[in-house]
């Protein structure tokens, strides 16, 4: 099914909660309100003609200029062979969105990763811990304004400039 | 050996020394001689050979640097391990931890007392030789359990528990298979069992009847399991339990476990040879006592070592079974089958109290047929092997 | 924790043993860690703990130029570096609207399929080793060594290739190499049969794998299991055929799927045998590519200061460990704005917690090996 039609159907069902369809880009996408994302995804999964069986990817995108964080959902349907990209805009200072775990279980780990690297809080997540970084790491590295802590557990994270070291 | 010592005493070599002390001294000397001139090089060379055979099966070269074709590799390894730091983990039970390798080692070494290398070459021909053998090999499980427990490491503990369950279970089919032979031979002395056989294959107890034929395979399988060999090497399964009960060991203590394991391979072969394959029996070609002793030794050694090679071959070929499959194999199949062998032999002895020559020759032909079929399979594999096989024994 | 067993009216106090399996453990293929709770040999749960090999490759992507990022993608999955190269370059080409040189496309497919065979050889070999058969492992590595030699001839590196560039490939494949690859294929195809005789149909091996940790199709969708693991569940799905890219539509090849031939559909054995069969298919693809290799330049002209217009793209590539997805965002500058690498191993790892309950410790090893999870790919 064409992305345009997917969007049209979704809009008919959730009018006002979805917006900003971009159809003439490489991967067509539209925006979903943060409160509605779980319902929309459940609809996209369960509707027999849309039938998005799997969540290919769930990741974040930091846009500091517009002061927002995006959570990007890549949905794919094996049976219908179509793809759609959903985007949820969140404020940068307090990003909250509901968890997708109830729709696709793979979201558990993908959301943990987004929490780990972007600091997005997924409400209702069963096990929201850091996954790639240590538990006591400070900051969210994939945010554009991230500054690495200088020391971690007494180990310096800075590398001495090689040339200066040689000159000394 | 006792005759030799008696003779020395009668000739007045030890005036005023009590007979018991002379005996004890002789035993210690004999043990020392066997240990340093036979067991240690044997286990060492076996370890080298296993690595070479294994390497060749895996299209590698294997150790070939120390000595001709690397045959002295075991000496280098031994020296290296002697010089290594001997680490005892802080949380380990120090006494048990240090003791465990020696218990395993003694359990393995004590078997050499009753292994008959020739009609005269035996340390002590106990009248309960085979029973003694089963008893001392059980000591190994105590050592392994000690090692597993004392290391204070969960992997070691799991390895130790697995090993205990495995060895205790497999002792039953092994014991029953041995009992089958004791029935047929009518004695428990190792020499007695060999003397009940002849040099010709159809006089071997292997072909005595169909049941002893089956008992042989049961024995060999159970012995592989008792010796923690692939496909039954689950106690030290490196991909599951890191190294099982030897995880925390290092240096010489570590080596002792493997010394026992490689030595044990030969013991397995030697027992199989004694019980089933006619032991040192040779055709009557010479009367010269020294020549005869050498010939007997060579025949025994070759037969026993063939099974060492088979064990290496099996290790190079098969994956490892899972622990529950191991147990079900033992209790569901091998134990009932070994009872069948035992009762079958008992029934056979009622039917044919003096044995049945025709059946023996028949079984021998069956054995040859099986061997031919197996050779055919091996030939097929060799002909379809890629890349080209490297036939030369050296590299 | 089940109820304490009763013995003569008195209850023993028993508790599960918690073992930390990894990060240094012989069969976790790198630095994975599982927190295993066992009751003797039977596990009640195995919680995967990842992140020991995290090298922040995604963050690095924001700091280097488009061309400069290609060598970094190698490191995302060093057993199949060609595919990460290809995925990133495809993303950049789609963003920049670059037509890839036709010879370059064929060179890519040849290099990728060689790499796929090498990666599957590692997978199959270590599988045998984890089950306890060491010989197949070394036989597999022997063949992989030949492939590594080809890779060295093709691009000068044996593991981290940096071969595929934006617009084509870095170096043309020489006719001598083509001839040698052809020779290798003649030699290799019968060897797959040898692995089958040695390992695949071995009774013990089959018994160890059949009916262990079967993944249902629903679970595969829910956990987004991809690649050979998905095909083992019986779904005929291959990105090379179903979302075609490069020159794969011109090539003929089968997609092996699991059939549950020795046990349940989607068990460890199916996952194993699918990989064996995929190697045969890769050989077919390689033969066709070598025949069809056109003349011409191997790389299209791409500006040295490559600046694709603003936009975003999600590309998928069929890597040995399944769907390798690159989500690349460009803001029109010299540097990628965001690079996201989505790998098959990461999602497969999240499934282990669910399907490992009630298995034995030895089965967990088989499960890890059969999913072919790879630490660098999980942690990136």
Residue of B nearest to C20 (CA): B154
Residue B263 lies in a domain: yes
Q: Do C21 and C64 fall into the same domain?
A: no
Q: Do B77 and B89 fall into the same domain?
A: no
Give the tokens for residue B229: 């060999």
CB-CB contact of B327 with B165 (8 Å): yes
Q: Does C177 touch chain B (CB under 8 A)?
A: no
HSE, CB side, 13 Å, CA atoms: give it for residue B128: 5
Q: Which residues of A touch C380 (CB under 8 A)?
A: 132
Q: Do C244 and C285 fall into the same domain?
A: yes
CB-CB contact of C325 with C316 (8 Å): yes
Q: Does A57 touch chain C (CB under 8 A)?
A: yes
Average pLDDT, chain A: 84
Domain count, chain C: 2
Q: Is the pLDDT of residue C224 over 50?
A: yes
Residue of B nearest to C130 (CA): B239
Q: How far is B386 from chain C (nearest CA, A)?
A: 6
Q: Do C49 and C147 fall into the same domain?
A: no
Q: Do C271 and C232 fall into the same domain?
A: yes
Q: Does C358 touch chain B (CB under 8 A)?
A: no
CB-CB contact of A140 with C58 (8 Å): no
A touches B, CB cut-off 8 Å, minimum 3 pairs: no
Confidence of residue C1 (pLDDT cuts 50, 70, 90): very low
Q: How far is A26 from chain C (nearest CA, A)?
A: 6
Q: Do B140 and B205 fall into the same domain?
A: yes
Identify the CA nearest to C56 among candidates A137, B360, B10, B2. A137
The residues, any chain, with a CB within 8 Å of residue B223's CB and separated by 6 or more, are B174, B268, B271, B272
* Distance from the first to the final alpha carbon of chain A: 65
Interchain pair C27, B387: CB under 8 A: no
Q: How far is C199 from chain B (nearest CA, A)?
A: 8
Work out the percent of chain C whose per-residue pLDDT is above 90: 2
Interchain pair C129, B239: CB under 8 A: yes
Region of C358 (left: φ > 0; alpha: ψ -120 to 50; beta: rest) is: left
Domain span holding position B44: 1-82
Domain end residue (candidates: B62, B82, B102): B82
pLDDT in tens, A16-72: 777 878 877 888 888 888 888 888 888 888 888 888 888 888 888 888 888 888 889
What DSSP string describes C53-102? T---HHHHHTTS-HHHHHHHHHHHTTTSHHHHHHHHHHHHHHHHTPPPPH
Cα separation, C165 vs A2, in Å, equals: 32
pLDDT in tens, C326-360: 999 988 888 889 899 988 888 888 888 888 888 88
Interchain pair C205, B319: CB under 8 A: yes
Q: Does C185 touch chain B (CB under 8 A)?
A: no
Residue numbers of B between 237 and 266 with CB closer than 8 Å to C: 237-242
Q: Which of C94, C235, C329 sits opposite A61 (nearest CB)?
A: C329
What backbone torsions phi and psi does residue C277 show, to the nearest 5 degrees?
Answer: -70, -30
Positions of chain B with pLDDT under 70: 1-3, 237-239, 386-389, 393-395
Confidence of residue C192 (pLDDT cuts 50, 70, 90): confident
Q: Do B246 and B319 fall into the same domain?
A: yes
Q: What is the pLDDT of residue B147?
A: 87
Residue B381 lies in a domain: no
Q: Do B274 and B289 fall into the same domain?
A: yes
Interchain pair C312, A25: CB under 8 A: yes
Residue of B nearest to C200 (CA): B319
This prediction's pTM = 0.87
Q: Do B51 and B193 fall into the same domain?
A: no
The residues, any chain, with a CB within 8 Å of residue C34's CB and separated by 6 or more, are C20, C21, C22, C28, C46, C47, C48, C49, C352, C364
Q: Do B271 and B228 fall into the same domain?
A: yes
Q: Which has more pLDDT, B22 or A87?
A: A87
Mutate to test the interface with C, among A29, A44, A45, A54 (most CBs of C within 10 A): A54
Domain end residue (candidates: C21, C39, C54): C54
Interchain pair C222, A105: CB under 8 A: yes
Residue B190 lies in a domain: yes
Cα separation, C327 vs C337, in Å, equals: 11
Q: Which of B239, B242, B384 sits opposite C130 (nearest CB)?
A: B239
How distant is the alpha carbon of residue B42 from its chain centre? 12
The residues, any chain, with a CB within 8 Å of residue B177's CB and separated by 6 or more, are B215, B216, B218, B219, B222, B338, B341
Q: How far is A2 from chain C (nearest CA, A)?
A: 15
How distant is the alpha carbon of residue B99 from its chain centre? 23
Residue B390 lies in a domain: no
**Residue B117 neighbours by CB distance under 10 Å:** 22
Residue of B nearest to C27 (CA): B239
Residue of C nearest to B235 (CA): C362
Q: Do C259 and C235 fall into the same domain?
A: yes
pLDDT in tens, A51-61: 888 888 888 88
Q: Do B65 and B166 fall into the same domain?
A: no
Cα separation, A124 vs A61, in Å, equals: 21
Q: Do C40 and C187 fall into the same domain?
A: no
Q: Do C40 and C104 fall into the same domain?
A: no
Cα separation, A144 vs C310, in Å, equals: 17
Q: Do C150 and C8 fall into the same domain?
A: no
Query: Strand, helix or coil at B291?
Result: helix
The residues, any chain, with a CB within 8 Å of residue B210's CB and separated by 6 or more, are B344, B359, B363
Residue B365 lies in a domain: no
Q: How far is B383 from chain C (nearest CA, A)?
A: 11
Residue B317 lies in a domain: yes
Longest dimension (CA), chain A: 70
Q: Which of C51, C56, C327 sits opposite A57 (nearest CB)?
A: C327
Q: Which chains touch A (3 or more CB pairs under 8 A)?
A: C
Mutate to test the interface with C, among A72, A73, A81, A106 (most CBs of C within 10 A): A106
Which residue intervals of A14-90 are DSSP H helices?
A: 37-46
The residues, any chain, with a CB within 8 Å of residue C213's CB and separated by 6 or more, are C267, C268, C355, C356, C359, C363, C366, C367, C370
Q: Which has more pLDDT, B394 or C284?
A: C284
Domain count, chain B: 2
Cα separation, C330 vs C62, in Å, equals: 10
CB-CB contact of C309 with C330 (8 Å): yes
Q: Which has more pLDDT, B198 or C229?
A: C229
Q: Do B152 and B47 fall into the same domain?
A: no
Domain end residue (candidates: C54, C72, C93): C54
CA distances from B90 to A77, B93, B257 (A): 57, 8, 21
The residues, any chain, with a CB within 8 Å of residue B393's CB and separated by 6 or more, are none
Q: Do C167 and C45 fall into the same domain?
A: no
Cα separation, A109 vs A129, in Å, equals: 10
Q: What is the pLDDT of residue B389?
A: 67
Cα separation, A165 vs A163, in Å, equals: 5
Average pLDDT, chain C: 85
Q: Does B390 touch chain C (CB under 8 A)?
A: no
Q: Do B27 and B130 fall into the same domain?
A: no
The residues, any chain, with a CB within 8 Å of residue C23's CB and separated by 6 or more, are C31, C32, C33, C52
Q: Do B110 and B184 fall into the same domain?
A: yes
Give the tokens for residue C80: 């199949």
Q: Do C360 and C227 fall into the same domain?
A: yes
Residue C377 lies in a domain: no
Cα separation, B117 vs B132, in Å, equals: 17
Q: Do B179 and B197 fall into the same domain?
A: yes
What DSSP string describes B152-215? T-HHHHHHHHHHHHHHHHHHHHHHHHHHHHHHHH----HHHHHHTS-SSGGGSGGGSSHHHHHH
Q: Which of C51, C58, C237 sits opposite A131 (nearest CB)?
A: C51
CB-CB contact of C326 with C87 (8 Å): yes
Q: Do B154 and B54 fall into the same domain?
A: no
Q: What is the pLDDT of residue C2?
A: 45
Residue B374 lies in a domain: no
Q: Does C191 touch chain B (CB under 8 A)?
A: yes
Domain span holding position C26: 1-54
CB-CB contact of A75 with A17 (8 Å): no
Q: Do C125 and C178 fall into the same domain?
A: yes
Give the tokens for residue C194: 């040898």
Q: Does A54 touch chain C (CB under 8 A)?
A: yes
Q: Do C169 and C206 fall into the same domain?
A: yes
**Which CATH number does the domain housing residue C274 bear?**
1.10.645.10
Q: Is the pLDDT of residue C4 over 50?
A: no
């Amino acid at each position: 099914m064409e992305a345009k039609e997917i969007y049209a159907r979704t809009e008919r069902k959730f009018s006002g909660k979805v917006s900003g369809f971009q159809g003439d880009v490489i991967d067509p996408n539209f925006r979903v309100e943060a409160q509605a994302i779980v319902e929309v995804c459940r609809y996209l999964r369960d509707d027999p003609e849309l039938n998005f069986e799997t969540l290919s990817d769930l990741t974040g995108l930091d846009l500091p200029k517009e002061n927002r964080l995006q959570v990007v959902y890549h949905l794919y349907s094996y049976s219908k062979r179509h793809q759609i990209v959903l985007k949820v805009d969140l404020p940068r200072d307090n990003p909250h969105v509901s968890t997708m775990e109830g729709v696709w279980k793979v979201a558990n780990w993908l959301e943990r990763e987004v929490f780990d690297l972007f600091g997005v809080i997924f409400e209702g997540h069963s096990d929201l811990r850091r996954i790639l970084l240590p538990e006591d790491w400070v900051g969210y590295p994939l945010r554009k304004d991230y500054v690495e802590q200088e020391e971690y557990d007494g180990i310096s994270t800075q590398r001495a400039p090689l040339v200066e070291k040689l000159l000394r | 050996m006792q005759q030799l010592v008696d003779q020395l005493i009668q000739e007045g070599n030890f005036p005023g020394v009590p007979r018991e002390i002379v005996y004890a001294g002789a035993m210690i000397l004999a043990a020392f001689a066997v240990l340093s001139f036979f067991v240690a090089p044997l286990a060492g060379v076996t370890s080298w050979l296993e690595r070479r055979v294994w390497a060749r099966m895996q299209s590698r070269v294997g150790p070939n640097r120390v000595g001709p074709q690397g045959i002295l590799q075991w000496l280098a390894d031994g020296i290296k391990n002697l010089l290594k730091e001997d680490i005892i983990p802080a949380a380990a039970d120090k006494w048990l931890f240090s003791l465990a390798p020696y218990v395993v080692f003694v359990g393995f070494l004590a078997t050499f007392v009753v292994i008959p290398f020739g009609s005269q070459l035996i340390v002590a021909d106990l009248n309960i030789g085979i029973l003694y053998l089963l008893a001392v090999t059980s000591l190994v499980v105590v050592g392994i359990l000690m090692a597993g427990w004392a290391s204070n490491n969960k992997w070691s503990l799991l390895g130790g528990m697995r090993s205990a369950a495995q060895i205790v279970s497999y002792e039953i089919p092994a014991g029953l298979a041995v009992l089958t032979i004791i029935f047929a031979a009518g004695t428990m002395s190792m020499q007695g069992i060999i003397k009940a056989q002849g040099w010709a294959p159809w006089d071997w107890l292997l072909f005595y009847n169909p049941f002893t034929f089956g008992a042989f395979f049961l024995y060999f399988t159970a012995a592989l399991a008792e010796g923690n060999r692939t496909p039954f090497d689950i106690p030290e399964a490196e991909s599951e339990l890191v190294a099982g009960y030897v995880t925390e060991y290092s240096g010489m203590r570590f080596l002792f476990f493997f010394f026992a394991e490689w030595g044990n391979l030969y013991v397995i072969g030697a027992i199989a040879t004694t019980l089933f394959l006619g032991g040192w029996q040779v055709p009557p070609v010479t009367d010269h006592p020294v020549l005869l002793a050498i010939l007997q030794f060579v025949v025994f050694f070759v037969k026993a070592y063939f099974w060492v090679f088979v064990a290496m071959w099996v290790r190079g070929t098969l994956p490892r079974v899972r622990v529950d499959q191991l147990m079900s194999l033992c209790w569901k199949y091998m134990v009932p089958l070994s009872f069948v062998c035992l009762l079958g032999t008992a029934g056979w002895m009622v039917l044919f109290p003096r044995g049945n020559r025709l059946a023996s020759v028949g079984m021998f032909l069956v054995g040859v047929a099986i061997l031919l079929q197996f050779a055919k399979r091996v030939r097929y594999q060799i002909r379809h092997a890629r890349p080209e096989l490297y036939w030369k024994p050296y590299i | 924790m089940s109820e304490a067993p009763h013995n003569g009216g008195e209850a023993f106090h028993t508790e599960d043993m918690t073992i930390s399996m990894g990060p240094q453990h012989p069969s976790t293929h790198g630095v994975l860690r599982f927190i295993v709770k066992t009751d003797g040999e039977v596990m009640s749960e195995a919680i995967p703990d990842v992140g020991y090999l995290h090298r922040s490759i995604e963050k690095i992507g924001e700091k280097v130029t488009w061309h400069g990022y290609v060598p970094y993608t190698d490191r995302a999955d060093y057993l199949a570096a060609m595919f990460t190269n290809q995925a990133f370059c495809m993303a950049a080409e789609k963003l920049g609207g670059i037509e890839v040189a036709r010879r370059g496309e064929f060179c890519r497919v040849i290099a990728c399929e060689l790499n796929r065979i090498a990666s599957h050889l590692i997978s199959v070999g270590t599988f045998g080793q984890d089950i306890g058969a060491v010989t197949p492992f070394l036989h597999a590595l022997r063949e992989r060594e030949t492939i590594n030699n080809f890779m060295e001839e093709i691009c000068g590196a044996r593991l981290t290739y940096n071969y595929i560039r934006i617009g084509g490939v870095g170096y043309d494949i020489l006719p001598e190499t083509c001839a040698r690859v052809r020779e290798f294929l003649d030699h290799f195809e019968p060897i797959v049969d040898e692995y089958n005789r040695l390992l695949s149909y071995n009774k013990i091996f089959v018994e160890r794998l059949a009916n262990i940790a079967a993944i249902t199709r629903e679970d595969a969708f829910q956990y987004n299991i991809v690649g050979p693991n998905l095909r083992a569940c019986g779904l005929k799905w291959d990105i090379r055929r179903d979302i075609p890219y490069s020159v794969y539509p011109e090539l003929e090849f089968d997609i092996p799927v699991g059939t549950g031939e020795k046990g349940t559909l989607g068990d460890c054995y199916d996952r194993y045998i699918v990989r064996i069969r995929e190697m045969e298919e890769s050989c077919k693809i390689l033969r066709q590519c070598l025949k069809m290799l056109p003349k011409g330049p191997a790389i299209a002209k791409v500006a040295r200061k490559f600046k694709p217009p603003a936009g975003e793209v999600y590309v998928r590539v069929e890597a040995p460990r399944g769907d390798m997805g690159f989500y690349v965002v460009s803001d029109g500058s010299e540097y990628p704005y965001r690079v996201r690498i989505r790998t098959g191993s990461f999602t497969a790892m999240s499934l282990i917690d669910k399907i490992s309950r009630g298995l034995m410790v030895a089965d967990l090893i088989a499960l890890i090996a059969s999913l072919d999870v790879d630490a660098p790919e999980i942690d990136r």
